[in-house]
Amino acid sequence: MKSNQLETKCILSVTLNIIGLLIAVIFIAKKGGIPYILRQLQTTPAKTSTQPWVDIYYQHRQSLFEGITTEISSPIIFLGDSLTDSCEWNEILNHPQIVNRGIMGDTTDGVLERLKPILASQPRQIFLMIGINDLARKKDFSGILFNYQQILATIQQQSPQTEVYIKSVLPVNNTLFEKGPSNEMIRNLNTQLQRLSKNYSYSYIDLHSKLVDENQQLDERYTLDGLHLNGTAYLIWKAAIENYVKRDGKGLDKG
């Protein structure tokens, strides 16, 4: 009796092992067979598989801008990060001479690095907003201001006729964007940017105050993620800057 039970257990165990082996063989075959096994044994993953898509987007867009030779004489440049990148400025302002040079994820380091082809076009105006990603990535405050000075000094040296408009860094909503920088840090940075604009005789445009709620957060009416803006917010942005934009070689009143 015991011998029969032992024999049954052995048969059952062998059967289960065979079934398991067959399942493994089928799985490996579907994945590509021996090459699949060899890939799994490699300890170093492919470089592209670990590269954040934002970095890939940044590099692609930067290479595009570097390869473009604009036909527009003395263009008006909108320069910045995703907040600039995400709007069709020439359409919203009905101005064919506006060129968008915003790139998602950009920082003051990035803007400084890619100024050369921008200034080669000798733009008549640059509308600059940058800094929120520096703060989000915990860049040292003095480093942000140093980069800003370098950006402004480079523009002044290489394209002295260009009018520069420094736009305030926008607020965030820390309820929706929990990992974002504090609005106190943003306000402190804007105070310093306003001083810098005076030092370089450039204009400063306060957009921050137009988009905050009573708690000094980015108003939820203007965002879904606490950082980026919806169409309503961009219309407010448009209204705040359109009187600064030159048309037909003439600037409108700055009042």
Whether 130 has a pLDDT exceeding 80, the answer reads yes
Task: Give the DSSP H/E element, type plus range, for residue 205.
Answer: strand 203-205
| Residues paired with 212 in a beta bridge | 218
Q: Which two tokens stand for residue 47?
A: 């470089």
Task: Give the DSSP H/E element, type plus range, for residue 165.
Answer: strand 163-167
Whether 68 has a pLDDT exceeding 90, the answer reads no
Give 72's pLDDT tier (boundaries 50, 70, 90).
confident
Which pLDDT score, from 0 to 100, does residue 52 have?
84
Average pLDDT over residues 100-128: 96
Give 41's pLDDT tier (boundaries 50, 70, 90).
very low
Average pLDDT over residues 240-248: 93
Whether 253 has a pLDDT exceeding 50, the answer reads no
Task: Give per-residue burial for 86-120: e unless 16+ CB within 10 Å, then b.
Answer: ebebbeebeeebbbbbbbbbbbbbbbbebbeebbe
Average pLDDT over residues 10-28: 58
pLDDT digits (tens, 9 = 90+) for 22-33: 565 555 555 555
Q: Which two tokens stand for residue 104?
A: 């998602």
Q: Where are the domains of the chain?
A: 2-43, 51-244
Distance CA 155, CA 157 (A): 5
* CATH 3.30.830.10 corresponds to the domain 51-244: no
Whether 56 has a pLDDT exceeding 70, the answer reads yes
pTM of the model: 0.77
